[in-house]
Amino acid sequence: MESELQVFQDYIRRRDLRRTRERERILQEVFEIHGHFDVDGLYLQLKQKGVKVSKASIYRALPLFIDCGLVREVEFSEGHWHYEHIYGHSHHNHLRCLGCGEIQEFENQFLNCLEEQLAREYGYYIQNHHLQVQGFCPACRQAAGLPAASNFLKKVDNEQ
């Protein structure tokens, strides 16, 4: 498989943009981050390593990475966007703990069924989806005295 750098360079050529040290250094840093990141974190991480890039360059580079499919916006929280690199990763969604903030990544075949059904039912061409599930992880769940079930199941039980 092509490296993310090659993907980016192909994109740069295709779009008639210029290869620059800054963009490629930012890209490298993005792919060294495991998990999610935000602009400020990325900036500080580069700074700590002695890399001199301005925030403006980061803000300008991210849309390019997103456009060529290397990075995606994950969520808007704490008043700003969070991102993750996605090249070489299978598509996944996020299960977030409302207690400790832990993020569990998961894949699920039900979403393919759902996409098919939406395409059939509404005549849409489905491009992608963005799903975030919220709940409490085993530790936080027990600390809060909640059962090991979904809110949905609990409701169904109550109705019986």
Partner DNA sequence: GCTACTATAGCAAATGAATCTCATTAAAGA
Partner DNA sequence: TCTTTAATGAGATTCATTTGCTATAGTAGC
Stretch that binds DNA, among 18-26, 91-99, 117-125, 130-138 (CB under 7 A): 18-26
* Encoded tokens for 98: 């409302």
Kindly identify the residues of this chain, within the stretch 118-157, that bind its own copies according to CB under 8 A.
Answer: 118-119, 121-138, 141, 144, 146-153
What's the N-to-C CA distance of the chain in angstroms?
53
Contact between 73 and 82 under an 8 Å Cβ cutoff? The reply is yes
**Residue from 84, 96, 136, 137 that binds Mn ion (CB under 5 A)?**
84
Contact between 140 and 98 under an 8 Å Cβ cutoff? The reply is yes
Q: Using the rule CB under 5 A, is 37 a contact of Mn ion?
A: no
Site string for Zn ion, 76-115 (x = CB under 5 A): ---------------------x-xx-x-------------
Distance CA 135, CA 95 (A): 7
State how beta strands 80-85 and 71-77 pair.
antiparallel
**Residue from 81, 97, 115, 135 that binds DNA (CB under 7 A)?**
81
Give the interface with DNA as residue ranges (CB under 7 A): 12, 16-23, 38-40, 52-57, 59-61, 79-81
